[in-house]
């Protein structure tokens, strides 16, 4: 169960308006005991299209008034990502009184023709929640009325250290990073779409020009364990073995420390960055200069432009190294970085997010 779902469930329970149950995969990694004030039923064996009726029956067995679908999730990505477009219409036919709400994540990152696999889901839903303007546009492009679309902003799920000298020195001491070196951080799952191998090549280029240290915060994404190992081996081959920190699965404290220790944050998202990327948001909360990617084929996020993010192609190590150097020489002002960190302050943003979820549950007019 994702941190996002856990946070939403806890906050909805705190509102005292609804009782909450979470229906999720029958996975040994799911621990129902983490639930606070709500119940977790880890009972769904399969997310394939042939399981649609079974999933609907499991939902109806909970006798819900509202069904809130998170789409897609890790268990039904790839060819399974159309499962909710079967479940939603069938569920509404079996139990028309259910109010169906869907939070749609990352619809805009795929080719436009692939987005239509979600059209039956949107049509069957009473409300569609998105987190950014890119996904809002992708939903409206399918002819979905704006009155039933809600935009609920997101932030990181935890707070960062204050951007003061003592925090940076203390964090570097934990990671055994000398105070005088330039530290470049990456945070997020490690998989080929994040181009961590390109970042490592860029670090190798920089290592010939200055003392550097790379901090890779995060574990391999599911199915990318070999890529993670290849990246580590690649760093060793390039002579960076003593210039790298690999946290693997990172605790909240390790994330905060790793970003506090850094001078620059780099995230080479192949699809391009936007304000849906909580890893980029975490760097902004840590008041770090950000080097990331732009893919206008999908969308250009104007907010990132205002934050002073520097864009680079995700597959050009020399350009990445150059962008890091330029960012070190001419970073966004501390005042600008502090301003945007305040704008994305997690407690306030997540309260707003939950309030908008509640509006969607009640059927109040959308906030767009």
CATH number, domain with residue 259: 3.40.50.2000
In a domain, residue 98? The reply is yes
173 shares a domain with 148: no
In a domain, residue 16? The reply is yes
Q: How many CB atoms lie within 10 A of CB 118?
A: 26
Q: How confident is the model at residue 134 (pLDDT cuts 50, 70, 90)?
A: confident
Q: Are 94 and 60 in contact (CB under 8 A)?
A: yes
141 shares a domain with 9: yes
358 shares a domain with 299: no
CB-count exposure of residue 305 (10 Å: 0-12, 13-18, 19+) = exposed
In a domain, residue 368? The reply is no
In a domain, residue 253? The reply is yes
334 shares a domain with 219: yes
Kindly state the percentage of the chain with pLDDT values over 90. 60
For 125, which DSSP code? Answer: -
Would you state the pLDDT for residue 306?
A: 86
pLDDT at 319 over 60: yes
325 shares a domain with 299: yes
Strands 149-151 and 182-187, bridge-based pairing: unpaired
User: Residue 139 and residue 151: Cα distance in Å, rounded?
Assistant: 11
In a domain, residue 126? The reply is yes
- Average pLDDT, rounded, for the chain: 89
Strands 182-187 and 99-104, bridge-based pairing: unpaired
Q: Where does the chain have alpha helices with state H?
A: 3-14, 52-60, 83-94, 112-115, 119-124, 133-140, 165-175, 196-207, 225-237, 252-261, 278-285, 302-306, 317-329, 334-343, 346-362
58 shares a domain with 128: yes
pTM assigned to the model: 0.83
Q: Are 47 and 77 in contact (CB under 8 A)?
A: no
174 shares a domain with 74: no
208 shares a domain with 135: no
Q: Are 3 and 157 in contact (CB under 8 A)?
A: yes
Closest CA to 195 of 298, 319, 316, 277: 316
Query: What is the span of the domain harbouring residue 26?
Result: 3-155+347-362
Structure confidence by residue, pLDDT tens digits, 135-161: 888 899 889 988 899 999 889 888 898
Per-residue pLDDT, averaged over 258-262, amounts to: 96
Would you state the pLDDT for residue 26?
A: 81
Per-residue pLDDT, averaged over 181-185, amounts to: 97
In a domain, residue 160? The reply is no
pLDDT at 353 over 70: yes
355 shares a domain with 312: no
In a domain, residue 367? The reply is no
Q: How confident is the model at residue 290 (pLDDT cuts 50, 70, 90)?
A: very high
256 shares a domain with 133: no
In a domain, residue 10? The reply is yes
337 shares a domain with 207: yes
274 shares a domain with 143: no
Q: How many domains does the chain have?
A: 2
């Amino acid at each position: 169960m994702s941190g996002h779902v856990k946070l939403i469930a806890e906050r909805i329970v705190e509102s005292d308006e609804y009782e909450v149950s979470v229906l999720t995969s029958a996975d040994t990694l799911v621990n129902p005991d983490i639930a606070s004030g709500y119940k977790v039923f880890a009972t769904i064996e399969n997310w394939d299209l042939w399981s649609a009726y079974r999933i609907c029956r499991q939902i109806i067995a909970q006798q819900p008034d509202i069904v809130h679908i998170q789409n897609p999730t890790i268990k039904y990505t790839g060819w399974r990502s159309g499962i909710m477009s079967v479940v939603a219409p069938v569920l509404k036919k079996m139990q028309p009184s259910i109010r169906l709400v869907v939070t749609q994540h990352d619809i805009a990152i795929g080719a436009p023709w692939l987005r239509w696999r979600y059209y039956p889901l949107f049509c069957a839903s009473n409300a569609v929640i998105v987190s950014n303007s890119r996904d809002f546009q992708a939903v409206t492009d399918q002819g979905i009325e704006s009155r039933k679309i809600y935009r609920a902003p997101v932030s990181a799920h935890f707070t960062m250290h204050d951007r003061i000298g003592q925090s940076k020195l203390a964090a570097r001491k934990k990671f055994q990073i000398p105070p005088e070196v330039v530290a470049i951080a990456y945070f997020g799952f490690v998989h080929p779409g994040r181009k961590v191998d390109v970042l490592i090549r860029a670090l190798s280029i920089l290592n010939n020009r200055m003392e550097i240290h790379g901090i890779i915060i995060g574990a391999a994404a599911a199915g990318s364990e070999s890529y993670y190992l290849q990246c580590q081996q690649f760093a060793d081959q390039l002579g960076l073995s003593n210039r790298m920190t690999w946290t693997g699965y990172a605790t909240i404290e390790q994330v905060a420390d790793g970003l506090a220790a850094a001078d620059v944050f780099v995230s080479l998202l192949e699809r391009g960055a936007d304000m849906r990327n909580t890893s980029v948001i975490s760097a902004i909360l840590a008041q770090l200069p950000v080097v990331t990617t732009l893919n206008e084929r999908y969308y250009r996020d104007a907010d990132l432009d205002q934050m002073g993010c520097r864009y680079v192609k995700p597959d050009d190590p020399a350009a990445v190294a150059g962008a890091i150097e330029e960012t070190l020489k001419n970073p966004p002002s501390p005042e600008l970085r502090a301003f945007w960190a305040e704008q994305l302050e997690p407690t306030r943003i997540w309260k707003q997010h939950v309030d908008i979820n509640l509006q969607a549950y009640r059927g109040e007019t959308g906030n767009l």
